[in-house]
Amino acid sequence: MAETLHRKLRLLQSGQGWWGFQSDQQALEPTCLAVLALRRSRTTGLELALQGVANMQNRDGSWPAFIGDKPEGSWVTSLAVLTLIATKMPSERVQLGVRWLLDARGREASWFWRWKFQTVDKSAQFDPAKYGWSWCPGTTSWIIPTAFCVIALRQVKNRGVNETAAVVERIEMGISMLLDRMCPAGGWNAGNGVAFGVAYSAYIDATAIALLALAGHEKQPAVQASLAWLVKRLPGCPSPYSLAWGVLALAAYRDVSPEVGKTLGRATDELIALIDRATGADDPCTAAICALALDAAAGDNVFEVRA
């Protein structure tokens, strides 16, 4: 089944080496995810894609979301760093990307926005002293970009690419932000757990990506509650994209309890059935995440962050 997905990804690749959300796009997110899924087979097409990712890097070390996008960079820098690490590309570009990640932060990191969220704008209930990363510069921290940046920096540290105090500090701050913004019933949605006095519901993909970033912190009550939420909600998920992210997360926690392992097996079987029926796995991001999920279920998790 994984090889079926690999063939699909190769067919979806453009002649210039890119993947996009649409056929004529040159987008970093689907390209990086496809490269990660295909990284074990270093074909000419894969090398072309890798060279395109490397050449797309901005001078400040960041990556834009699309060819022709604004030069300020965006959250996909973390995904590019992960891709270059996984494919053993030259470390100079990784180091530049890491430098940008260390400098990037949600706007609540500044004293003005922190004061505003603490005194004037209290509609969203979170601790602005605990900040992560935003989708694009100049905006507030969000769950998914923060989780990806934590994953990237934890891999950077664990692999000896950069073990400085600055990397450790940003990892710890990102983890504290994720723990602070969990939904009251467990799991995470896109942003805050509570706003306007209302407790928000969690999303499977956001919860799974946050749990991947938090692997190794199983003793945290927030992690335990969120893992329990995912174990309960994942079976029967009709979306292969969300189901695949759930499989990736449970694969990182399979040794925590027999229930996690059992749910991982059930969710993997459900994912295979959805792919076999060609249900919703036609875009490159979904096909790549599904392939990576099957790898993780078999013991090869590209988002692994444990040392």
Per-residue pLDDT at 111 exceeds 80: no
- DSSP classification of residue 231: H
SS percent in the chain: helix, strand, coil, step 5? 55, 5, 40
| Mean pLDDT, rounded, of the chain | 90
Per-residue pLDDT at 233 exceeds 80: yes
Per-residue pLDDT at 105 exceeds 90: no
At residue 130 the predicted structure's pLDDT band, cuts being 50, 70 and 90, is confident
5-26, pLDDT tens digit by residue? 999 999 999 988 999 987 677 8
Closest CA to 179 of 220, 229, 125: 220
Among 12-26, 211-225, 227-241, the minimum mean pLDDT is found in 12-26
Question: What is the per-residue pLDDT for 211?
Answer: 98
Measured between alpha carbons, how far is 292 from 297 in angstroms, rounded to an integer?
9
Measured between alpha carbons, how far is 230 from 232 in angstroms, rounded to an integer?
5
27 vs 107, which has greater pLDDT? 27
What number of residues does the chain have?
A: 307
pTM of the model: 0.92
Per-residue pLDDT at 269 exceeds 90: yes
At residue 138 the predicted structure's pLDDT band, cuts being 50, 70 and 90, is confident
166-192, pLDDT tens digit by residue? 999 999 999 999 999 999 999 999 887
**Mean pLDDT across 196-211:** 89
Q: Which residues of 181-196 are buried (b: 16+ CB within 10 A; e: fewer)?
A: bbbeebbbbebbbbee
Question: What is the per-residue pLDDT for 260?
Answer: 97
Question: What is the per-residue pLDDT for 208?
Answer: 98
- 127's CB contacts (< 8 A; 6+ apart) are 180
Annotate 80-102 with DSSP letters as a single string.
HHHHHHHTT--HHHHHHHHHHHH
Answer yes or no: are the C-beta atoms of 7 and 290 closer than 8 Å.
no
Measured between alpha carbons, how far is 110 from 70 in angstroms, rounded to an integer?
23
**Mean pLDDT across 83-104:** 93
Q: In Å, what is the CA distance from 238 to each residue of 51, 101, 262, 267?
A: 36, 34, 19, 11
Measured between alpha carbons, how far is 171 from 168 in angstroms, rounded to an integer?
5
Per-residue pLDDT at 244 exceeds 70: yes
Measured between alpha carbons, how far is 258 from 264 in angstroms, rounded to an integer?
10
Burial class (CB in 10 A: 0-12, 13-18, 19+), 291: buried
Measured between alpha carbons, how far is 86 from 78 in angstroms, rounded to an integer?
12
Closest CA to 6 of 302, 294, 307: 294
At residue 136 the predicted structure's pLDDT band, cuts being 50, 70 and 90, is confident
**Mean pLDDT across 260-286:** 90
Per-residue pLDDT at 274 exceeds 60: yes
Neighbours of 118 (CB within 10 A): 13
Question: What is the per-residue pLDDT for 190?
Answer: 87
Question: What is the per-residue pLDDT for 72?
Answer: 79
Answer yes or no: are the C-beta atoms of 124 and 191 closer than 8 Å.
yes
